[in-house]
Structures are given as C-alpha cells and as structure tokens.
Amino acid sequence: MLDLIMQGITEIMHINTLLFILFGVAWGTIGGMIPGINATIAMALLLPFTWGMGPTNAIVMLCGVYAGGEYGGSIPAILIGTPGTNAAACTVIDGHELHKQGKTGLALYTSLNSSVFGGFFGAIALLFFAMPLAEVALAFGPAEYFALATLGLTMICSLGEKYVFKGILAGFIGIFLSTVGFDPIKGVPRFTFGVMSLNSGFDMVALMMGFYAISEMFKQAQELLGGEVFELKGDPDTHFPKWKEIKGLFKWNVFGSIFGTIIGVMPGAGATTAAFISYSEAKRISKDSSSFGQGNIIGVAVPESANNAATGGAMVPLLALGIPGSNSTAIMLGALMIHNVSPGPMLFINTPEIPYGIFVSLFFANVFLFFVGYMFIKFAIKITSISKPVLIATVIALVYTGAFAYSGELFSIGVTLAFGVVGVLLRKMEIPHTAVVLGFVLGFLMEANLRRGLIISEGSFWGVATASPISAVLLAFAVFSVGFAFVRGLRMSKAELS
Amino acid sequence: MFKRYDWSVGLASILLGAFIIYRSSFWANYQSSESAGPGYVPVILAWGMIIIGVIHLVGWWIDYKRGKKTEDKIDYAKEWREFKPLLMIVAVSIIYILALKTVGYLLMTPLLIGSILWIIKERKIKGIIITSISVTIILFLIFFYGLSIKLPLGIMKPFF
C-alpha cells in the first residue's frame, strides 16, 4: 500500500501538475459561486483543454474543479441565500440565517473548514478503502436505495416543526414534482401536458434557484417596501472562527464526512443527496434540533463536509468499477477515455500511478481549496456592503441568466420564476419549502428504486422491505423517525396551547 | 397545529390530490407488465395529499367553531400592499422571458434590472441607469465570453 501511495505522490509532485490542480480548484470555486454553473458545467468547459495533457494532469485538474465547485456554491448560499450549486441548497437553510444574524464570518469560514475537512476525509477513505467501499456500493441494490431514500424523506415530518402535516404535505409535493417527466421504468411522459421541455422533468437547478433565490428576493422586496427590511445587526462579523468553535464542530464534520463518503460511493446518489440526508440526520440526533433552520452552525458544517466528502466517495465507483456515479464523474470518465485509460479493477494493477495519483491529488486540491476559499471569502464578503435594492435586482438578473445558461432554454427561466412564486406562497402558508426540495431531491431515487425493487420481488412490497438486512434496518429507522416526529409535533402543539 | 390559512391549504391539497389521481388514470394500460406502473407512486402521494387536506379542513373547522380564530382577522389591504410589488416583478419577469429571444439579452436585462429597482422604490435615475448597464455588462462578459454560454442576442446579433 505504502509503495503505491509513494508512486501516487511521485506522479503528482511536479510543478505543472500542482499548478493544474490549483487552477482547477480556483476555476471550480468560481463556477460553484455562479448560480446555474455547477461543478459539472465547470468541468465540461475545461474538458476540451485536457486533450493535450497527460491523463494524470487532465484528471487531477478536473478533481480540483470538482472539489472547488462543491465548495464554491456555499458562498452565495450564505451571503445572498442563493445556492451556487444544488448541493449548497442545504447550506442556505442555516448559513443565510447566520449571515442575517451578523455571523457572516463564522458561517463562511465554517463552510470552508468543513468543506476542506470533508474533502480530506473523502480522500483518506479513497486512499485506504477504495476497494472495500466499492463493495459497499455493490451491496446497494434497488431495495437498499429505496430504503435509504425513504429514511431521508422521513425528515419531512420534522421540517414542519409543530405543523407535522404541513411538512409531510410539502414532502409529498416535492416527490410529486420529481415524478414530472419521463417515468423511470417505462419512459411514459407524466404530467408534461405536451410540453417537450418537461419531458426530462424539472431542472433541479431551476427549482432550487426558484425556491431559494427568487422567493428570498421576493420576500426581501416585500420587506423593503413594508419597512421591515432585514438589515445586519451591526457590522457583520468577518473573523475566522476561534479554535474553540472549530473544535466544537469536529464531531459534526466527521459525522457529515462519513455520510458524504458513503453516499458519494453510491452511484446515482451524489453530493446533493449526501448534503440533505446528513443534514436531516444531524437535526434528528442533535440535542438542539429546534434551532436548525434558525442559524445553527452545525447546519452549515454537516452538509458542507458531506458534499465535499462525496467528491472522494464518487471516485470509488468511477476508478474501482468504471461506473460514473454522477454527472461530474461521467465527465472524468470521458477525460480518462480520451487518454485511452479504462477505469476498473485492472487500472489498479496495470497503471496504479494513475488512481493513486488521483487520490493524492485530492489532498493537494483540499489544501489549495483552503487558501483559494479564504481569498474568495475576503473578496465575496464585500457583497454585504451592496445596497439592498441593487442586490435584489442583481440577484434576480443573475439567477435568470444562470437558469438560462444551465439549460439553454427560456423555459428554465419561467420554471425558476414559477417556483419563486410558489416558494412565496408556501412561506405564506407556513409550509416548509425545504421539505419540498428534499422530496424533489430524493423522490426520483425513491420511486425508481421502489419500482425496480417491486419488479424483482414480483410486486411484493414486503419483499422490497425485507430484501436484505440493510433495507430492513433502514426502513425500521424510517418508521421510528416518523413516529418520533409525530409525538414531537403533538408535544410542541400542546405546549403552545397551554 | 392549525392556522388561519389552513382551510386553503386543505382545499388546495385535496384538489391537487384529485388532479393527480385523475391524470394517473391515463397510464392504467402501462401497468400490464409491471405490478406498479407509472401511476403507482403519484396515486399513493395523491391519497396522502387528500388525507392531509381533509385533516387540515377538519382541524381548521373545529378551531373555527371553537372561536379560536376570531382574533386572527386577515388585513386584506396589508396583504395587497405586500403582494403588489411581487406581482409587478412577476409581470416584468414574464415580459423579460417573452421578449428575451427577440430583443436580446443586452437590451432586456438592463430593462429588467431597472424595472425591478423602480418597483422596489429606488428613485435615483442615474443610479438605476448605472446599475442596470454595469450589472448587465458584467453578467454578459462572465457568461457570454467567460463561460461561452450562447445568450440570446436578438436584434444585437449583427454586432457580434
């Protein structure tokens, strides 16, 4: 093992290679910061330039973009309530609240620290456990994916706080939205009403930007005119967190990173799923769960460590099995294939310097990420001095441009606008829109795998639930979580009445 | 557990559920080779929505009968004041979407930004013009040149 790691280090320790990683991280962070441009698009834009590079340089640069992209999305998420990437949508919930409370530095630097921590954790897992983790990925069939998604979805019950039914309703709406478009098994178009642009369903980017960015800007515009404009309480605190604060979040970073690495390993799950599931589980086990959504720093640390740990996890099926588990790793697969490198178990035997070089490059990418992120935060924090009307108009224009850039269709701007309006209405009715987003993120994973599972078990739901010990345990946890959320909601309601 | 708007939440939930069940009946034929079929999950969701809708309606009705909501009067004038700017921004956005392809990004985006600033009571004309144009130029440079995104040029196409 040690000699393989040394081979990897030797492969990376060239000034050109390190500069490529640094450039990748910076490019990815910029891409992540721009709504509508995620890590995948940032990578796709660089792909043509990898043609003239060696396979290691090409892939390590893309690794840098991947790490930077997953982190960069958190900066606008915290500062303007607009997630730069889908995975950062979860960071908006508490990160933007912290910014409103003037704890801007704490939120931004915690997001950076946790992202770097998650990235390191994922890289270590990749370095030492790539092959065993690949076996975990293979142990997850449709029944296990369905159980995992269901467990994540039980979070909708607690997102409504004392309005348990509203949380569930919001989750159902989110799952319903995920069913729009081609059905995952038969390919039948559902709820599309003949609109071609809806055949592949709603763009997650448009939906997230609508629910988070546009509805937040609408809300701020309403507040501005109603004289209730949110202003920072004093000057925002832009200091780096104290050691005590960093240390206090250590266990949550480990928590998020474990979720991120494991979920990242599973093909089709990805960083967004990792962020939302880890957030929901952190809220579930936290002693201070009621402060989640109101500016709890754990709500920033956990999803950020999870989504960056997922980058390491996502490399496992790509390199060990040759299966790209996400759009970003599919682009990496493309880059490897351009250079006649075929990922899979033989890659570790024939050219071990490439996979181990990639593993080692993730460490360097995260070191660079810390410094690049620190620099970007210093620059981005100036956003807080922009006047509120200018910020509202600019963010709306930026989001519309980002929505168009992602799909190349005007329809996406319309979808973003529509979800922005829906977001305002849901807020008015005190229906938690985060539960809608959670339902949307996990809905497809849940439905597609439930139906695959039902085909395997010849229509028996019990057969799906008990297909393996993993699915049975996960579903048992889900049932327990629903019961717990109901009891908690009833208690909160009773306490309010008395 | 229930609030003043909950009758509307209940009603909307029931109507959405009924609509989903109605639409899902269109795909009944696809169910032959698979026990679930395309309508399986949507119909389960729909029944869930209907049940939650009924719970909200009943809960609201019981609270209403007990007279709990009498102090919770809706101020329609305030509601209208709050929603008016939102409706105006939505209207401007719809015009933006409809005209973007024909007129082009470089002309429509300053108009969008300027209109939003005006709606949210920014009245310094010079500031509106500078903000609208400078933000548009920055966004155009980032997306069109930096990220090679083909933004609609509309009537400005001959200049590029």
Encoded amino acid at A268, one letter: G
> Residue ranges per domain, chain B?
6-65, 76-159
For residue B93, list chain A residues with Cβ-Cβ distance below 8 A: 396, 400, 413, 417
DSSP per-residue codes, A7-59: HHHHHH-SHHHHHHHHHHHHHHHHHHHSTT--HHHHHHHHGGGGTTS-HHHHH
ipTM of the complex: 0.90
Smallest Cβ distance to A222: which of B36, B86, B105? B86
Region B14-39: mean pLDDT is 82
Q: Max CA-CA distance within chain B? A: 69
Confidence of residue A382 (pLDDT cuts 50, 70, 90): confident
pLDDT digits (tens, 9 = 90+) for A136-172: 777 788 898 888 888 878 777 766 666 778 888 999 9
Give the pLDDT of residue A111.
Answer: 94
- Comparing C-alpha atoms, which of A46, A40, A23 is closest to residue A84? A40
Report the alpha-carbon distance of residue B71 to residue B15 in Å, rounded.
29
3-class state of residue A386 by DSSP: coil
pLDDT digits (tens, 9 = 90+) for B31-60: 556 677 888 899 999 999 999 999 989 888
The burial of A265, by beta-carbon neighbours within 10 Å (0-12 exposed, 13-18 middle, 19 or more buried), is given as buried
Angle (CA) B47-B48-B52 rounded to 5° is 115
Report the alpha-carbon distance of residue A281 to residue A306 in Å, rounded.
12
Give the pLDDT of residue A414.
Answer: 95
Smallest Cβ distance to A417: which of B90, B147, B148? B90
- Considering only residues B51 and A474, tell me which one the structure prediction assigns the higher pLDDT: B51
Smallest Cβ distance to A221: which of B55, B86, B94? B86
pLDDT digits (tens, 9 = 90+) for B90-120: 999 999 999 999 999 999 999 999 999 999 8
Six token digits for residue A232: 């920072």
- Comparing C-alpha atoms, which of A175, A74, A167 is closest to residue A118? A74
Report the alpha-carbon distance of residue B72 to residue B60 in Å, rounded.
13
Report the alpha-carbon distance of residue B101 to residue B79 in Å, rounded.
35
Smallest Cβ distance to A225: which of B5, B85, B151? B85
Give the pLDDT of residue A59.
Answer: 85
To test the contact with chain B by mutation, choose from A153, A154, A173, A176 the residue with the greatest count of B C-beta atoms within 10 A, namely A176
pLDDT at A296 over 60: yes
Phi, psi dihedrals of residue A182, rounded to the nearest 5°: -60, 130
To test the contact with chain A by mutation, choose from B3, B21, B30, B41 the residue with the greatest count of A C-beta atoms within 10 A, namely B41
For residue B135, list chain A residues with Cβ-Cβ distance below 8 A: 393-394, 397
Region A446-467: mean pLDDT is 88
Give the pLDDT of residue B1.
Answer: 55
Report the alpha-carbon distance of residue A415 to residue B15 in Å, rounded.
22
Sign of CA dihedral A171, A290, B79, B63: positive
**Contact (CB<8Å) B135/A404:** no
The burial of A193, by beta-carbon neighbours within 10 Å (0-12 exposed, 13-18 middle, 19 or more buried), is given as exposed
**Contact (CB<8Å) B35/A45:** no
**Contact (CB<8Å) A224/B45:** no
pLDDT at B69 over 80: no
- Considering only residues A37 and A78, tell me which one the structure prediction assigns the higher pLDDT: A78
pLDDT digits (tens, 9 = 90+) for A173-192: 999 999 999 988 888 899 99
SS3 for A228-265, per residue?
CCCCCCCCCCCCCCCHHHHHHCHHHHHHHHHHHHHHHH
Give the pLDDT of residue A461.
Answer: 86
**Contact (CB<8Å) A451/B40:** yes
**Contact (CB<8Å) B1/A493:** yes
Smallest Cβ distance to B41: which of A179, A218, A224? A179
Query: Quick one: which H or E segment has residue A210?
Result: none
Phi, psi dihedrals of residue A54, rounded to the nearest 5°: -75, 160
- Comparing C-alpha atoms, which of B128, B106, B126 is closest to residue B116? B128
**Contact (CB<8Å) A414/B85:** no
Give the pLDDT of residue B132.
Answer: 95
Report the alpha-carbon distance of residue A33 to residue A91 in Å, rounded.
13
Percentage, residues of chain A above pLDDT 70: 93
Task: Count A/B contacts: CB-CB distance under 8 Å.
Answer: 178
- Say if residues A413 and A210 touch (Cβ distance below 8 Å): no
- Comparing C-alpha atoms, which of A244, A222, A173 is closest to residue A202? A173
**Contact (CB<8Å) B38/A186:** yes
The burial of A348, by beta-carbon neighbours within 10 Å (0-12 exposed, 13-18 middle, 19 or more buried), is given as middle
Give the pLDDT of residue B131.
Answer: 93
Encoded amino acid at B19, one letter: F
Phi, psi dihedrals of residue A181, rounded to the nearest 5°: 110, -170
pLDDT at A105 over 60: yes
| Integer CA distances (angstroms), B54 to A172, A300, A435, B81, in order | 15, 36, 20, 31
Sign of CA dihedral B93, A223, A303, A240: positive
Distance from the Cα of residue A315 to its chain's centroid: 16
To test the contact with chain B by mutation, choose from A172, A192, A419, A442 the residue with the greatest count of B C-beta atoms within 10 A, namely A172
Minimum Cα–Cα distance from B82: chain A residue: A222
Cβ atoms < 10 Å from Cβ of A379? 10
- For B107-134, give one letter per residue: b (16+ CB within 10 A) or e: bbbbbbbbbbbbbbebeeeeebeebbee
Region A483-488: mean pLDDT is 75
